[in-house]
């Protein structure tokens, strides 16, 4: 395991390493935390600051929420449907240095009404296109009820996600954060695609 991963977990007083596919199926994908080096690049991009609220879909044990809240001072909300993994996020929150700036909700992402203060949504391939469609409908509802800038951030996007997102009329591709240099192998999926609602 990468030493950087365990060091950050220690610093943030959380436990988020490892993969868990015990409840994965064709619609909901395994728990695998975003690497800290990618989160660092996102935090340094200037796209998230203390005035923002990040909603992390498929938050798992909460790494994205804890790290971004710590580094950027943003507020964060994590959505997780798996009871066991969700309890890991809640345990982490009790000890985490940025726990006060985070909250977690055990919910089905497609049913969850997006709070009006949320203006950044983060995805690391948490679920299928079918669920993504429902999630986007919820985000659009929130946007139309409370118009504001909303950015959607997709790390390591699957080709199916990219194809689908490019056809969504309410979304405009606005930026890309390249992460290929952080890993060996020149993998073109190592990036964060940024979309805005229009």
All domains of the chain in start order, with CATH: 3-197 (3.40.50.150)
Q: In what order do the strands lie in the sheet with 102-106?
A: 102-106, 75-80, 53-57, 120-123, 151-155, 191-197, 171-178
Q: pTM of the entire structure?
A: 0.93
Per-residue pLDDT of 139-168, as tens digits, reads 999 999 999 999 999 999 999 999 999 999
- Per DSSP, the residues of 137-173 read HHHHHHHHHS----EEEEES--HHHHHHHHH-TTEEE
Q: Which of 160, 146, 150, 144 is closest to 26 using CA atoms?
A: 160
Per-residue pLDDT of 176-192, as tens digits, reads 999 999 999 999 999 99
What is the C-alpha separation between 67 and 95, in angstroms, rounded?
Answer: 13
The CA distances from residue 57 to 1, 120, 159, in Å, are 25, 11, 19
Q: Is residue 1 very low, low, confident or very high in pLDDT (cuts 50, 70, 90)?
A: very low
């Amino acid at each position: 395991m990468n030493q950087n991963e365990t060091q950050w977990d220690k610093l943030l007083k959380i436990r988020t390493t490892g993969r868990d596919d015990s409840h994965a199926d064709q619609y909901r994908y395994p728990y695998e935390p975003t690497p800290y080096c990618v989160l660092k690049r996102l935090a340094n991009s200037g796209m998230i600051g203390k005035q923002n609220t990040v909603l992390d879909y498929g938050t798992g044990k909460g790494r994205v929420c804890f790290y971004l809240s710590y580094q950027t001072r943003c507020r964060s909300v994590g959505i997780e449907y798996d009871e066991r993994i969700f309890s890991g996020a809640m345990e982490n929150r009790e000890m985490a240095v940025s726990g006060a700036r985070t909250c977690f909700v055990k919910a089905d992402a497609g049913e969850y009404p997006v709070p009006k203060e949320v203006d950044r949504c983060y995805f690391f391939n948490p679920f299928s296109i079918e669920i993504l469609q429902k999630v986007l409908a919820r985000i659009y509802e929130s946007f139309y009820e409370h118009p504001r800038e909303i950015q959607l951030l997709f790390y390591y996007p699957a080709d199916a996600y990219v194809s689908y997102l490019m056809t969504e009329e309410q979304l405009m591709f606005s930026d890309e954060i390249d992460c290929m240099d952080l890993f060996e192998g020149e993998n073109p999926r190592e990036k964060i695609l940024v979309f805005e609602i229009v």
